[in-house]
Amino acid sequence: MRQFIVNGLDNHNIAAFGLPTYFPANYVLRAENGEVLGGLLGFIWGGWLTVSYLWVTEAERGKGHGGRLLAAAEAYAVQKGCIGSALDTHNADARRLYEQHGYAVVGEIAGWPPGHTRTYLKKTPL
């Protein structure tokens, strides 16, 4: 059901804006034995990379994996002609990572969830 709704909205936007070019931008971090240690899920549409999810297991955090996943997605986006990248986070550590990689805060919603802030960031140009 979720994918049906996502596809419906995506198809509507493609038709409404006349921008049919869409590419997934998904990267997986694996251990030598194949175990998944993290990854980045996103997509390219409308000349922008949207990072939907970026996650690394707790044991692997602080080793540069998140930055490398982000850089790989951004490099792919540049190859596809993107002008920018956008993402959001509730996590202060993630926000610092994104800012270290050239992202700027464009908006915040305080109290989402209570006691925290949801932060929206973008990077232009890539």
What is the reported pLDDT for 56? 98
Of all residues in the chain, what percent carry a pLDDT higher than 90? 94
Distance CA 102, CA 63 (A): 19
This prediction's pTM: 0.93
Domain architecture of the chain: domains with CATH: 2-123 (3.40.630.30)
Instruction: Encode pLDDT of 80-116 as tens digits.
Output: 999 999 999 999 999 999 999 999 999 999 999 999 9
Q: What's the mean pLDDT in 58-64?
A: 97
Q: Phi, psi at residue 15, to the nearest 5°?
A: -70, -45
Residues 6+ apart with CB under 8 A from 14: 20, 22, 45
Average pLDDT over the chain, rounded to an integer: 96
Q: Phi, psi at residue 4, to the nearest 5°?
A: -60, -45
pLDDT range class, residue 121, cuts 50, 70, 90: very high
What is the reported pLDDT for 114? 96
Residues 6+ apart with CB under 8 A from 67: 97, 100, 101
